[in-house]
A and B are shown apart, each in its own frame.
Chain A
């Protein structure tokens, strides 16, 4: 069954926009969706997977290499033809072992044939695609350490059991979770380009529409898909157009200045905030068909790009969203 269509998700505009923007520019670096249960967090991620344009990769390559010469040696890929495959969206389940994430000695081959071979892990499969972690705040610390390291270097290195293996692992990190169950480490937070907070819709009509569509999806699947798939296709075209337009979007000195002053006012750590804000604003401009980044783009991109980068103040009662809004109103009138 095809996942629930992205365009059929009711409301949750910020979450949808954030996901579309990372699809337009994967360099933005992923989305963290935090919020209530049953608000369609994982539905949206799975819907996004169906929406992403396919990639081209060497046939049979376990790390989705674009060119035959990029295939890692250990994979023993002999084919040279290129095939199109869907953008990989790999689930990283909780309680996953380190072996499965990084890859390890192929135990089956070792035991039955006595051969030393490498079995690629989830990181290999996620290369050039998305890595999705549901309930990311429950992820065990040693897996988080490992992810941080790989996300930083873009390369997965396995040195164990007498093997020395490396392969590229560049992926967009998508996480979802419920803040009531625990907080996320600041280092991991920082790896997410954008962060959005979702809440259960408050208006009764919206709630009814959500469950009505879900019910239709489950009980009247063909008709429902016939209605929504064209809209998903349209959005996919829109994303591709925006992607093509991205390099042509101009960023004026004023826009750069705006980005810097917002980040400075908020006291976000490092320069990643500015960069992400600029990239997000540019993707937004491309999505809206604008030729230049305007202040309006920066203003709407700022909350999702900066919310999770503020230095944490345990005694500040106001949420980080409120702090971003406050500073935005002051700095970018």
Chain B
């Protein structure tokens, strides 16, 4: 089960209603049961891996509480890492080995193992790893209550696609009473609806254009390829941030606060800033549990840049077992290294040109450049192979400007996408200095109702769902 399905629209009201009706001591068991049911709807076998992860990380946490043994931590991390490797990377690793052996002159046909990737494994394994590391670091006490710990990993809003929450932030929330709060409830539902708007009106509509162009880049002109690349950046943002909005919204409706995952990333002025605003729960995870242990910026500039490249290569690999993701990650790392190296030079250039660091012209220029760089890298995220990605980029520079062929969306669909983008831009601009949900809550009732109707009817009329539409799965959904 995932959000925006009829099953979820039955599941969530029942879960939330029973949650608030039950006495406090029965609420967490109920949430755990509901979360497991939510997860079981994907495929029953997947629950086995989740239960194993819960058991392994819980026991390690208890063990580390008694004595801070590095071996116990390492064993747990290796076991969890191995689990991720087997399910997500084994085929990729075998194909690399095969290619390597073939290059060395050995004849090796790579076997393709039929391995099902358990839903959400990349998210809950990272959450479990973060927990045991935090316990080892004495940042959080080991959770003694197995039920609470199981709920921490299984909580249905984040189990499939995150955010990757932290124990010190989420576990205490399961220990306090959540009285029904009308404001929190409607704030949560409002956020869910905004997420639905981004997914239904924008992401899945842009996906049609993106898929059409990326599946045959040679058939399109330079402007069309560039347009598709830009459309993919926007699609990915709308798709993933919509899931996060819906996850945070459902949790908030029940009184829980999950970690924010996006903070208007396309308004970033550098790639480094972009990664502090894009998939924040993963970026911060890598910062805290990989970049800093590698030495961070404490061991000199060269080592710092090397660490950045390592982190982004691993981050790329986390997103998918393919060279395209590694290239995407490394490109983002390289951008930051180049950005760091050229920072003094650019500073001097700004002085010569008399551009104020906080002035609008420079800001807009930096935002524009960051968007272009991120978009160029996202081409590899989307492309089926590195060569397709290179073809796309090359086509933007060398091909004909425009080829008169359908890009998958008709005039009306493009207008609907444009409408959605205007709304998105307006909301994101407002979000720079305002909390949109707080704005919504403080607005007069009639305005609130109009906003809800606007979003709801945009979704049900303009949304990509139902018969005749190729509704897309969440990009960060069942293949992570």
Do A and B pair up? The answer is no
Q: Which B residues have a C-beta under 8 Å from some C-beta of A? A: none
Q: Which A residues have a C-beta under 8 Å from some C-beta of B? A: none
